[in-house]
Amino acid sequence: MSYQIEEELKLQRYVPEEQWPTLAEMADGFGEHKYPATAALAGKIVNLQFDNGWVIEHNFVDATTLKWTILEGEGTGFTSTDTYEAVEVRTGIFFVEFLKPAYQESATLIWKLETGDVLAAVSSFYDREGEKRTRTDFATAVVQGLPGGAPILQSSSLVGKRVLYRYSSDDWYEHVYFGPETMAWHCVNGAEKGLADVEKCAYFDVAEDLYVLFWTETIMPVESVIAVDLKQMRSIGRFFCWDPKPAKLIHLTFGSKATPLNATRYPTVFEE
């Protein structure tokens, strides 16, 4: 099927903030290209030893039920049983996502099963002058009893790239990665067609051509954590948001098909 994207873009006009759709309307249908969930973690009980001193037990009771308990560190004794979703993005590399309703938090684990290296991203709410906003904290960990040695660290690997993500047959967004902490998104087609913004972001290297992408939005209270695979040309991720119009928490996982558009190369010499 052919698309006249460039011709469509010429017709787009600026959309003021007051005309933006709700977050629920924006994300409707984003599950079309999701990876299939896996039950591979069911029955596993692991202790994650975090760099900040936390030790948190994760008991994957079955394919969708996770009981976590803080064994050491701040909040020792806190525990909850929540619903999780696990996706194997590459052989032995898992994207694990669960909402903690009692705490109004979303936790994402990127887990290398062989070495035990884990990157955790926890998104939550905070009050900013009476307005509910979102934030995300990152921490690295190693599964106790495994060697580690391949930590998932922040990088600049996506800088210069421009990628089109198709979350559904109708919802397409392009990203431009300007620097290690600055990116832009633009809705090419879909509920947010014509919307665009520049956001604070971060990238983390997982494996060759496999990255964790995070961004926090300026206008809407949205935190996004995505595993981007530019070898398989796919992504899996989650939104954690506060939708101010209906005044409710929005949490969902989604997938996309990715198409790299270009990579910026700046000249090193200029003709005078």
**In the chain, where the domains are located:** 5-144+152-263
75: left (phi over 0), alpha (psi -120 to 50) or beta: left
Selected residue with higher pLDDT from 9 and 105: 105
Residues 2-37 pLDDT 10s: 567 777 787 788 888 888 888 878 777 788 999 999
Average confidence (pLDDT) over 113-130: 97
Taking only the tens place, the pLDDT of each residue in 143-168 is 999 999 999 999 999 999 999 999 99
Q: Answer whether residue 52 shows pLDDT above 70.
A: yes
Q: Which pLDDT score is estimated for 18?
A: 83
pTM over 0.75: yes
Structure tokens at 74: 């701040």
The yes-or-no verdict on residue 104 having pLDDT over 80 is yes
Residue-wise pLDDT for 70-95, tens only, equals 999 999 999 999 999 999 999 999 99
- How far is Cα 226 from Cα 239, in angstroms, rounded to an integer? 9
- Which residues are CB-contacts of 75 (< 8 A; sequence separation ≥ 6)? none
Name the β-bridge partners of 175: 163, 185
Please give the mean pLDDT across all residues of the chain: 94
Within 8 A by CB and 6+ apart from 170, the residues are 29, 189, 190
